[in-house]
Amino acid sequence: ADLAVNDAAAFTALADQAKDALAK
């Protein structure tokens, strides 16, 4: 369960980073 939560957090961080890159 904890591993899934950590993976989800990492995925969210990567998604935010990609969104910022596309926005610029």
Q: What is the pLDDT of residues 1-24, one digit of tens each?
A: 588 899 999 999 999 999 999 998
pLDDT of residue 3: 87
DSSP symbol at 1:
-
Radius of gyration of the chain (CA): 11
**Could you please report the per-residue DSSP string of 2-23?**
HHHHHHHHHHHHHHHHHHHHHH
pLDDT of residue 2: 84
